[in-house]
Amino acid sequence: MEGNKIVNKPSRYMSILFIIALISIIISYLSIIDNQYFNIGLFAIGFFIAGISATSVLHPSLSFRELTRKFVLILAFGLVFSLLSSIIVTYFMDISLNNINIVLSIFSIILMIIFLFRDKGNKKNSEVTTESKINENIAETVDDIENLTDDGGSYSKISSLAILILAVFTLMSMTIPPFNVLHVWYFAIIPFIAFVPGYYIINTLVTRKDDLLVVERMSVAVFSSLIIMSIIGLIIVQINGKLNMRYVSIILVILSVILILVYLIKIRKVPNNERFYHRKTNILLVIFAIIAILAIVGSGIYATTENLGQGNTTFVVNGINKTADSNGYVNFTDGENVSVQLNVTNQEHKNMNYTVRVEVHNDTTNKTLTEQPVSLKNGQSWVLPYNLTMSPGQKDIQFVLYKNNKPYIIRHLYCNVTSDYNESE
């Protein structure tokens, strides 16, 4: 009877939350109350309803009072579903707080439906046999013995050191040739995107093993890591106008290194037998780090032996807004000013020295108008703005990119320049 009583409690408060979420959808959809402060309050309510609903799915047998003690989980789930709602509204709907509230409430209702199915399953399995209880107690006792014999501090430090070394190799695979040729960092960056930042944040804030369950720590670690990655991505988009996963990944790796160092300093104050560690997680982190490091080193060796490091340089001339005639010449008038931009991008997988020249060639003269040396790091771009003033005659204006003191790319602009006046009789 006592087991049924505990299981039935969540169903009662969940029906109240369901009604509140439904009312929120109606108010937001019909814009019944068009007040910004009211909508913000409605969003705050939806935020916590989503967090409580998701936490209830994870812990379907807890009462409402017991759930409210899972504040970290509620906050993490609320952030995740609020962010998902904002992304959905940004890409598929008109951006407004009302639409975010609607999507957030729909997420909450879906989570409540999932909870109901889990709740029914708990009721069917509430009768636990004496034998299974004994087995569970034996398993817990074995785990306790393992925890007493294992040195949690050593496991945590070894896995943290492995991730720190992996961070160095990951940065190397993104920036230093020949390790950056095969883009193995796409694989090495996975834990830094989906687990490591959040894992070390929660373990730094809650260092003692009895304060949170393992499943709660892992859930917060994954969700908070994804949130951090999304926030960094949004900031990069605002700065650059587009998403660059290389920049996002570099920031995540550096942030992870800082968090690991803070964590190692923090746990020094906590006794080994009290601090949290999870043996399987630590072992998996070490194994992944070893595999990723070997893959990065192997990619560098393979790229060198197979001569895969040969890259290229792009050289683009922008600003010519006229089309050529049937003879391939572009018509201009005497004295016309043409502003061009010469764009050079180094993709040679190493630092390069270039020279950019603008030359004029015709039947009577060959002249260099400008010459500009430039040094670029791998992946770096450079733009040279240049103004041309047209003079009469047919000519070939050449934009030449020199690499290793030899012409590498030549762009031609064949011009036919005429005087801008009409002869009168």
Over residues 208-259, the pLDDT tens digits come to 888 788 888 888 888 888 888 888 888 888 787 777 888 999 999 999 999 9
**For the segment 268-307, what is each residue's pLDDT rounded down to a tens digit?**
888 888 888 888 999 999 999 999 999 999 988 887 776 5
* CB-CB contact of 369 with 399 (8 Å): no
Phi first, then psi: what are they for 274, rounded to 5°? -110, -25
Whose tokens are 């817990």? That residue is 140
Residue 401 reports pLDDT greater than 90: yes
Number of H helices and E strands in the chain, helices first, is 13, 8
Residue 54 — very low, low, confident or very high, per pLDDT cuts 50/70/90? confident
Gyration radius from the chain CA atoms:
32
Instruction: Report the C-alpha dihedral over residues 365, 366, 372, 374, rounded to 10 degrees.
Output: 170
- The predicted pLDDT at position 73 comes to 78
241: left (phi over 0), alpha (psi -120 to 50) or beta: left
Residue 103, classified by CB atoms within 10 Å of its CB into exposed (0-12), middle (13-18) or buried (19+), is: buried
**pLDDT exceeds 80 at position 144:** no
- The three-state secondary structure class of 56 is helix
Amino acid at 215: V
Output the six-digit token pair for 145: 């013995």
Least confident of 91-105, 178-192, 305-319, 385-399: 305-319
Q: Specify whether the CB–CB gap between 354 and 374 falls below 8 A.
A: yes
Q: Cβ–Cβ contacts within 10 Å for residue 29, how many?
A: 13
Which single residue is written with the structure tokens 């883009």? 183
* 3-class secondary structure, 275: strand
Mean pLDDT value of segment 123-152: 49
Position 152 confidence tier, pLDDT thresholds 50, 70, 90: low
Please give the structure tokens belonging to residue 350. Answer: 């190493």
Whether 352 and 409 have beta carbons less than 8 Å apart is answered as: no
Return the beta strands (E) in 191-296 as ranges: none
